[in-house]
Every structure is written in structure tokens, then in C-alpha cells.
Amino acid sequence: MKVIIIRYSEIHLKGNNRDYFESALVSNIKTVLKDFRCQFGRSNARYIIRNFDENDLEAIIQAVKNVFGVHSLSVAEEVDTDLPAISNAALAFAPNSGTFKVVTNRADKRFPMKSMEISAEIGGDILDAHPDLKVDLVSPDNTVYIDIRENGKTFVYGTTIKAVNGMPVGTGGKGIVMLSGGIDSPVAAYMMAKRGMTLRAVHFHSFPYTSMQARQKVLDLAKIIKKYTLHMTVDVVSFTEIQTQIHEKCPEEYMITIMRRFMMRIAERIAKMHGAGAVITGESLGQVASQTLESITSTNSVATIPVFRPLIGFDKDEIIEISNKIGTFETSILPYEDCCTIFLPKRPVTKPRLDHVLRVESALDVDALVENALNNIETVVIE
């Protein structure tokens, strides 16, 4: 019978809390499998998918390998623990040319042959069937794996498919990610979800200065991220009034600084409304004027909950590499600009002093502007 083996790694380190993390992982795997006809369960120390339509094989692999907490998968043949049956299955995974080796894991110590003896026996059968093959025990082109389990069954496979690893979503608390249409913030969302955080997004939209295509671009990014986060809701905040007031009443060079402080206040309020314990941004130290140490200090001064910046030490090339890997890059570079590009100053202050920022900000009715923005949120549940 063809099966899919699912493995985890970091959860092994969780000691007495391991059951909690495994339970979350199982729940998340079941979520991505809900649209497939298959049987999912545990077999000794393995999670196995059985009785699936082989036409769905690739789709199932793609779905499960994006579940945080899954380390790797293998498509295997499950046979009775009987040497001829194991040998026949191994022949199906053997290459026709090049080099190979056989690796055996004998979890069932009642099986009369030891692991190395089994590997030698099966390797000999493979060589008999494919005389052009050569054995290489150090760096073979191909490996045939034999996993003899305690329940009288054996898994035979030839390839391990790398998954996203990390911790199961839902085990790392809740966070609000400030999601723009750029490259960085979707990657930041991915990085925090990888550590088990459940995410909700906030997006600041300045219609008519920014287009409805810009809003849709962010929702499209949220849909891509949902492959990893399992669920995603976006709170779209109208930011037009705040930006207009800043433009009219504050010195041009402080516009970005004041704008970021408003965004942080609103994101934190939304976090508290939904029981989230942190705000997440895509900031990278020194990348732009609003991401210098002084600018970040100014933004942080209005926050009373933790602000996570998972990309703080990344350069742009590293961020783009992850963006390409997770599938957000092509959408992020679509030419629809978000509110951060509106009323851009020619020379933004890069080292704002907090006392100067407070004096500039005093020209605004901060509380009223924040309340008005919170009262005009459009909530979009990503399907």
C-alpha cells in the first residue's frame, strides 16, 4: 500500500509539553487535509496518510509540507515485515544506474536479522536486478530506506521531501502583523507563523490616494500567507484622514515618523481588541529612513506590548530570497503603491529626537484621529 510518512523534529525537544505541541500539529494537518479523501493517523512513532486518491498525491504533499511543525515527508510503500516483501518493494525504489546504498532502521528488535544484515541482503537483491549499479556507502546518488516498525509493518521509500519545519501554528500566542503591499511584511508574517504564532493582519489604506488595486494586492498577499498560517483575517484601516492631517499640520521631514507612530497605536489597539500579545512589522535596521535605530525608538515609544521585528538583521537580498521561496515576491512587486508612498518628504528625518517628535505631534488630536480610524475598519476574512 502506498502511504505518506510525516515527520517532525523540534517538537521532540518539548519534554512534558510535547503532547500539547503534537496535538496542535495533528489539528493543523487535519485542517489542510479536509478537502482530500484520505485516512490520517498515527502508527507508532510516525504520522501516516493512507487510502488517498493517487491523483491527489502531489496536492496532498504540497499542502502538508507547508504546515509549520512538519520536518519532512516521504512517499513510501507499506508492506508486511517479511524479507521477500521488503525486497520487492525496495526494487521499485532502486535506480537503474549510478550508485546507491540501502539504509535500514530496525525499530522491531524481534526481527531476526540486524539492520546491517538486512541492508546487505536487500542491496544484493537490487544489484542482481540492476547489474549496472554500484554500491557507494559514503555519498551515493540514491538511497533506499527500510523502516521496520513494531506493528509487523515495514515502510520502504527512496526520497525525503523537505517541509517548512518550525512550530505548529497556535502554539506561540497571537500577533497582529502590519501588512503592506511590499516585500518585507509578508516575509515577517511567515517568519512569526513559523514560530507557532497565530496571526491577524492590519493594512492601512489611503483611498483615493492609493488605488483599490493596492488594497486587493494586500488581500492577495494575505491569501498566499494563509497557506502557512491556515487562517487569515485582514483589518483594513482607512488612513486617509490621518495622513492628510499630518501633511497639513506637521513639518514635512517628520511625516513618516509621525505616520509610523499612528500605525503602531492603531495596530496595538487592534491587538488588544482581539487578544493578541504582540505587533509584528517587516522592518529591517537601516533599510529606509523610518528604520534607523532612532526612528524605531520613536515608534516603539507609543507601544505598550512587545513589537516583533523578525527581519531586523536581514539584508534585502535575504528577504527577497525568502519571499521567492514562500511565493509572495511576484505579487509584492506589482506596481500598486500603498499609503507609505503618499506625501513622501524629500528629506525625511533619519535620527528623530523624541522630544522634537512629541512637539511636532502636539499639533494633532491624536486620540480623536485614532478613534475615528478604529471606528471605520473594514474586516476581510480570507477564504
pLDDT at 307 over 80: yes
Q: Which fold has domain 2-162?
A: VC0802-like (3.30.2130)
Q: Is residue 302 a contact partner of residue 267, using CB atoms and an 8 Å limit?
A: no
- Res 328: pLDDT: 97
Report the greatest alpha carbon distance in the chain: 85
**Residue matched to cell numbers 512513532:** 45
Amino acid at site 103: V
- Res 343: pLDDT: 63
Quickly state the pLDDT bin for 372 (edges 50, 70, 90).
Answer: very high
Separation CA 94–CA 220 (nearest Å): 42
Question: In DSSP terms, which residues pair with 178 in a beta bridge?
Answer: 202
Residues 6+ away with beta carbon under 8 Å from 138: none
Q: Is residue 235 a contact partner of residue 179, using CB atoms and an 8 Å limit?
A: no
Is it true that 2-162 and 174-381 share their CATH fold?
A: no
- Spell out the domain ranges in the chain: 2-162, 174-381
Q: What is the mean pLDDT of residues 65-84?
A: 96
pLDDT tens digit string along 310-345? 999 999 999 999 999 999 999 999 987 665 565 667
Quickly state the pLDDT bin for 266 (edges 50, 70, 90).
Answer: very high
- Res 342: pLDDT: 59
**Residue matched to cell numbers 483599490:** 212
pLDDT at 352 over 70: yes
- Res 169: pLDDT: 97
Residue range 174-381 in CATH 3.40.50.2020: no
- Res 43: pLDDT: 78
pLDDT at 380 over 60: yes
pLDDT at 187 over 70: yes
pLDDT at 375 over 90: yes
pLDDT tens digit string along 93-137? 999 899 999 999 999 999 999 999 999 999 999 999 999 999 999
Q: Is residue 99 a contact partner of residue 136, using CB atoms and an 8 Å limit?
A: yes
